[in-house]
Structure 1
Amino acid sequence: MTPIKQITLTLLAFLFAAVSLHAADRDAELRSAEKAYADGNYPAAAEQYEALIKNYGDAAEVYYNLGNAYYKLGRIAPAILNYERALVMNPGDGDTRFNLEMARQRTADRIEPADGFFGRAYRSVQHLLSVDGWAAVGLICFVAFAGCLVLFFFSKWMRLRKTGFYLGLLLLFVTVMANVFAWGERQDLIVRDTAVVFTPTVTIKSSPDRSGTDLFILHEGTKVTIKNTLGEWYEIRLGDGKEGWIPSKDLERI
């Protein structure tokens, strides 16, 4: 074996060992956090899940478990924040969505979306799958669409040609919509323009300063969309269309 090959194999072995050790450490810390939660030691569980995110990066499962720990502690705003972060990464998870709705029931603000039934239905369908999930659906449907084209152009039987034509139209529509939904989920991952109110009560102002006119009051746990930033102020929009300015220290970005 040449020296170069030997060095390469040594480096690969070292890299594999480092990755394996890293994964083993993460698994051990995750089991420790899960045990603390199972034992009812929710403060320790929350602390350990926070450490997991800090040391090993984002993970939908850890955000979900962290949200559960904060919910058990009665800290609704952090619970909602982490459920929302889990859904950004895994939008189709029913358990996370159910727990998020349970946490929202314990908030003071009741905000009805202004986009109506069809807007809510559109978002519900989009959130069924992640970016990768919708991309896979789009790819499968596109391949099937190509097969329908072959059937339509080369089949000798009129019934099969009609089937290929109409089924191809349906598959083309699903392919387009799957790509639209995948793009929407990707934007949610990249832009991160939503946030959760983290103070018990905060007055929303008409302008980005304390002397601005009081518009309305929000309470902790309420989700908002950030439109603009000016110094230490955020311009926000609620689901019902209301807008105003809030100090940035009162929000935590999802």
Structure 2
Amino acid sequence: MMKYIILIALGISSMAIGQDVNALFEKANQEYKNGKYEDALSLYEEIEATGKISSALYHNIGNCLYKMNNVPGSIYNFETALAIDPANDDARNNLEIAKKLTLDRIEELPKNIFQKFHSKYIASISYNSWAYICIVLSILAGILFILYYFAVNPALKRLYFVLFSISVLSLSGTLYITSSQFTSHKNSVYAIVFEKETSIKNEPTRNSEEIFLLHEGTKVKIIDTLDEWSKIKLVDGKIGWLKTSEVKVII
């Protein structure tokens, strides 16, 4: 009996927290519309502290910071919004606007046709969404198999078998994509430079040779760490070392 009481209490508590978060979100949105960006940001960060994060939340935080002329902060939050939901077009558009205020102009290495297809169609969907597609396809495959098994009409039986086979093949492909997306997400660590200007070294030591400079707002990929240093790679292929404290990792 006590177990059920605890579960009910937890459920009521979760509903109350959810309602509080929704109320805070609406209030923050209103403060933003009224031009009170600092007040709106404070409310959004209060929501973030509850753990009820979302792509929309980080998009709105990015908007506040952009209005407050915090370019690296806005870029970081737009990137975080896209990391949670790659299909968030508003965050993507605002990210491109914010990036125009950065000093570094880094040309991405050319992509082949397969890389372009992957980035445009596959990587634009989060691995969570691909997982939901897998669930739908598995249910569909199960239904089609049952229909095939119990079908009496030979023509319908063949049709259900063909559709079942197609759904199984689609499920296999989607499972592979989901696994690849998840692995890529976990193994790829990206960060935003928060220093006004930082020197990129050829080795993880203070007295090593400077090979190029980066400025706030630039996105880098972290490929290794050593003590207080991080080895980074840019989209144009350049590699170097900087202080870990000079960047903020995107969640």
Question: Which TM bucket (shorter chain)?
Answer: 0.7 to 0.9
Within the alignment, does 1:216 sit opposite 2:212 as a pair? yes
Offset from partner CA, 1:210-252 (integer Å, 9 cap, x none) = 2111111111111111111111110011111110000011100
- CA distance 1:224–1:12, shift in 2 (3 Å): same
Letter in 1 for 2:100: Q
TM-score norm. by structure 2 comes to: 0.82
* 1:141-160 correspondence runs (5 A): 141=137, 147=144
* Corresponding position of 2:65: 70
| % identity of equivalent residues | 28
* Corresponding position of 2:239: 243
Offset from partner CA, 1:182-215 (integer Å, 9 cap, x none) = 2244345544611000111111000111211111
- The partner residue of 1:52 within 39, 47, 51 is 47
Q: Which moved more, 1:75-84 or 1:45-54?
A: 45-54
Q: Is the 8 A contact 2:191 2:247 kept in 1?
A: yes
* Corresponding position of 1:81: 76
Q: Is the 8 A contact 1:130 1:185 kept in 2?
A: yes
Q: Is the 8 A contact 1:196 1:220 kept in 2?
A: yes
Q: Which moved more, 1:7-16 or 1:96-105?
A: 7-16
* 1:1-254 correspondence runs (5 A): 5=1, 7-114=2-109, 116-117=111-112, 118-141=114-137, 147=144, 174-187=170-183, 190-191=186-187, 193-254=189-250
Runs of 5+ in structure 2 lacking a partner? Answer: none
Alignment partners' CA distance in 2, 1:107 and 1:155 = 66
Offset from partner CA, 1:30-67 (integer Å, 9 cap, x none) = 22211211111112212221221123342222111101
TM-score norm. by structure 1 comes to: 0.82
- CA distance 1:74–1:110, shift in 2 (3 Å): same
Coordinate RMSD, CA, aligned? 3.0
Offset from partner CA, 1:85-119 (integer Å, 9 cap, x none) = 11111111221212212222222222222251432
Runs of 4 or more consecutive aligned structure 1 residues displaced over 6 Å after TM superposition: 160-165, 167-170
Q: Report the CA distance between 1:176 and its aligned residue.
A: 3.9
Q: Is the 8 A contact 2:82 2:88 kept in 1?
A: yes
SS at match of 2:230: strand
- CA distance 1:215–1:72, shift in 2 (3 Å): same
